[in-house]
Amino acid sequence: METKFRGTGVALATPYNKDGSVDHIALDRLVKHTVNGGVNYLVVMGTTAESPTLSMTEKAKVLDTVLSSNAGNLPVVYGAGANDTAELCEYFKDSLFSKVDAILSVTPYYNRPSQKGLQAHFENVADESPVPVILYNVPSRTAVNLEAGTTLALAHHENIIGVKEASGDINQCNQIMTGKPEDFLMISGDDMITLPLLSIGAVGVISVMANAFPKQFSSMVNRAYAGDWDKARALHLSLVEIGAILSEEGNPAGLKCVLELLGLCGGNLRLPLYPISEELKARATKAVAELNKKG
């Protein structure tokens, strides 16, 4: 089993300056905060990074900053997905893929392929990718669900090592866990169902919350690994309120607010994303203060 992607991966946010440019100083600070907080690997250019509004040049520079800030030399996963299979396969010729340990590849969006189309797409991606592929299923964003049967068919491809499951469908996750090869990784794509998925054999999570609270979130995962379910459950429940706040008005808008409250980066977003409401910000301020008190 691929052990480098066990535990807590963090889906890194992209800090921006007030003029909308990438804030590489804050990004360095954020990476160090998560590494020092105990995460196990870094994910660059996932959904939380606002990747649709970053140019290819900006994405490459963000990756370079993350790599230079990665003092713990943690594994790095790079988000590489598209709804044009040929274009994505051509992208793999870019030298940046020599710098990463795996890619996270989202299901094609907007054109809504069939399950046969999804399988063929990912087989082509896996054939061409120079590094291992982690599938990313997030139907709330892509309007297409990678069904359990399709995931299991793809799980036998030698260059597809796992799936980040963000469907929220526990039954679908059960089906994948029941039928998958032993070395295929089930990774939670939703912070607040990570603990239930760990209980059925998931290897960890690619987390939004770990940007802000890496110590607390990775401790929850580690306690579950150690079989200390009482402590893991207590940590999970202590994060429920902030988890709801992070998602209520969209990710990463809620996260950016929390990161600003923690002094890690500004709360700036690129349109069409928009800052959260003052009412939600007040609740976030209170929740962050409570979590900081608990340590």
Which candidate in 16, 78, 91, 164 is catalytic?
A: 164
Q: How far is CA 50 from CA 106, 131, 274, in A?
A: 14, 23, 12
Residue 168 neighbours by CB distance under 10 Å: 14
Question: Is residue 289 classed as helix, strand or coil in its secondary structure?
Answer: helix
Question: Is residue 102 classed as helix, strand or coil in its secondary structure?
Answer: strand
Structure tokens at 61: 């520079």
Q: How many Å apart are CA 268 and CA 253, to the nearest integer?
A: 9
Q: How many Å apart are CA 184 and CA 160, to the nearest integer?
A: 8
Task: Confirm if 104 and 164 have CB atoms less than 8 A apart.
Answer: yes
Structure tokens at 174: 């059960």
293 is catalytic: no
B/e letters for 85-106, b = 16+ CB within 10 Å, e = fewer, are beebbebbeeebbebbbbbbbb
Structure tokens at 4: 């480098």
Q: How many Å apart are CA 191 and CA 237, to the nearest integer?
A: 12
4 is catalytic: no
Task: Confirm if 278 and 226 have CB atoms less than 8 A apart.
Answer: no
Task: Confirm if 129 and 90 have CB atoms less than 8 A apart.
Answer: no
Which candidate in 16, 78, 91, 136 is catalytic?
A: 136
Q: How many Å apart are CA 107 and CA 127, to the nearest integer?
A: 16
Rg (CA), the chain: 18
Q: How many Å apart are CA 8 and CA 214, to the nearest integer?
A: 8
Q: How many Å apart are CA 187 and CA 202, to the nearest integer?
A: 6
Residues tagged active-site: 136, 164
